[in-house]
Chains A and B, each alone.
Chain A
Amino acid sequence: MMTVAREFTYWRFCAWMGPAFMAVFIVFWGIMGHNIPPWNPDLPDSIIAGWFRSQASIIRTGMVVAMTCAVFYAVWGLAIGRVMSRIVPRDSILIDLQVWGAGLTVVPVLVSTSFWLAGAYRPEALPDSILQLLYDWAWLLIDLAYSVTSLQLFALGVACLHDQRSKPLIPKWLAWYGIWVGFMFIAECLMPFFKLGAFARDGILNFWIEFLIWFFWCPTLTLYVLKAINRIEREEVK
């Protein structure tokens, strides 16, 4: 029979999946997939097609690893859900919303990476415009699916604000910050309307600011989730 102490070890393992997802995302999706920053949408299709053809092996490797590790985000969401269960009632719908938000975030990541992978699979046989379409399509999906991640951020934020402890498990400032990040993601709605400027997919707002505020949130939340797990363990394992 599984001991309680071992269960907390699993929680910690799952909590580390957040930073692990982020690291994979940056290296394999971002750098190897030329998505940090993405290609400017105003570039001619020949540039995108040329990149797919010359870097096909690197893109394939990057996207295969990114697809394999996309599930890490859902695992991370489950660890957060366990900590939430010590803040709000265990059958609270806020936990379900957070877990579903994290789980559904995996879907656009998986599907969009499959588009980039499809472009790199046989780029020499595809016309330039199709390769450009695949690159655009992947970005439209990954940006416009923001609402599932916002759902996670809002549900977690609201739950943490209900914490009645004198020292909350997750600080309230981080709960509010998460709600703000989820709210800021709405700016992604502007991305399909622009090919240049701050609101384009590589723009200072829609790429740099949006990704940076999330990149700050993910490891910071993980740090507090790990601290919360230690505290819950001390309280519950006598």
Chain B
Amino acid sequence: MPQAAGDMRAGVVPSAPPAHRAPAALAGDHGVWLFITADVFAFAFFFLLFTWGRVGNPAVYEQSRHSLDAGIGLLNTLVLLTSSWFMVLAVEAAREGSRPRTVRNLSLAMSVGSGFAVSKVVEYTGKIQAGITMLTNEFFMYYFVFTGIHFIHFLIGMVVLAVCLHKARTQALDARYRVWIESSGCYWHMVDMLWIILFPLLYLQR
């Protein structure tokens, strides 16, 4: 909730806005945002392909969707969101120059995030053991390819977080490090966001 709205409900008269407000700035390295934007557009294109395929063959998509466990999908969502929350705390700690909190929150972000890898391996193994592969039908082609590409993003994110953690342990938490951790945080949130769209698209859409 915006701060001003919260103050109004509590019966507090909001103070006048400051005369000079710092210009809004993108977190992290600006170039990372180009990477993120390009990646989001690529996934948007994937989602369009999937929707196009679903419109052309709704029965196969609907029947195939029932083979997916929405509970695991929801668990994955919660895991990634929790991991992202720890990442936010790590970025805040780094901005405040607190090394112990930065290290602790980055470690928690990685530990919780690794649950996503376990869950995906269990899910993929179950499907393959049931004879379902990306060659089964168009739905599963998209399912394996899109979640697989997302999983590669996740693995890269874990490596990036590991680098952030190593730097937090061994280097000064200076402006240069803040750019590092903010850029990594932006990427990690993108991994979340893509999953938040993938989950309903693949598991829930009727």
Query: Which residue of A173, A180, A186, A198 is within 8 Å of B152 (Cβ)?
Result: A186
Task: State how many residues of chain B have any CB contact under 8 Å with chain A.
Answer: 18
Interface presence of A130 (CB below 8 A): no
Query: Which residue of B35, B38, B134 is within 8 Å of A193 (Cβ)?
Result: B134
Chain A residues contacting B42 (CB-CB under 8 Å) are 184, 209
A173 touches B31 (CB 8 A): yes
Shortest Cβ distance from B135 into A: residue: A193
B30 touches A198 (CB 8 A): no
A122–B45 Cα gap in the complex (Å)?
42
Most buried by A among B30, B42, B134: B42
Chain B residues contacting A199 (CB-CB under 8 Å) are 141, 145
B35 touches A179 (CB 8 A): yes
A176 touches B141 (CB 8 A): no
Given contacts A172-B29, A172-B30, A209-B45, contact A194 B38 (CB under 8 A): no
B32 touches A176 (CB 8 A): yes
Q: Shortest Cβ distance from A163 into chain B, in angstroms? A: 11
Shortest Cβ distance from B133 into A: residue: A193
Interface presence of B44 (CB below 8 A): no
A198 touches B29 (CB 8 A): no
Query: Which residue of B31, B38, B135, B149 is within 8 Å of A172 (Cβ)?
Result: B31
B141 touches A175 (CB 8 A): no
Interface presence of B92 (CB below 8 A): no
Chain B residues contacting A179 (CB-CB under 8 Å) are 35
B141 touches A194 (CB 8 A): yes
Q: Shortest Cβ distance from A204 into chain B, in angstroms? A: 7
Q: Chain B, 41-77, contact with A by CB distance < 8 Å: what is the 0/1 string?
A: 0100100010000000000000000000000000000
Interface presence of A187 (CB below 8 A): yes
Query: Which residue of A177, A186, A198 is within 8 Å of B38 (Cβ)?
Result: A177
Chain A residues contacting B49 (CB-CB under 8 Å) are 198, 204-205
B39 touches A180 (CB 8 A): yes
Question: Restricting to A195-230, which residues have a CB under 8 Å from any CB of B?
Answer: 197-199, 204-205, 209
Beyond the given pairs A173-B31, A176-B31, A180-B38, 20 more chain A to chain B contacts, judged by CB atoms under 8 angstroms and listed by A's residue number, are: A161-B31, A172-B31, A173-B30, A176-B32, A176-B34, A176-B35, A177-B34, A177-B38, A179-B35, A180-B34, A180-B39, A186-B149, A190-B145, A193-B135, A197-B141, A199-B141, A199-B145, A204-B49, A205-B45, A209-B45
A-B contact pairs, 20 of them (CB 8 A): A172-B29, A172-B31, A173-B31, A173-B34, A176-B31, A176-B32, A176-B35, A177-B34, A177-B38, A180-B34, A180-B38, A180-B39, A184-B42, A187-B149, A193-B134, A193-B135, A194-B141, A197-B138, A199-B141, A209-B45
Q: Which residues of B contact A (CB under 8 A)?
A: 29-32, 34-35, 38-39, 42, 45, 49, 134-135, 138, 141, 145, 149, 152
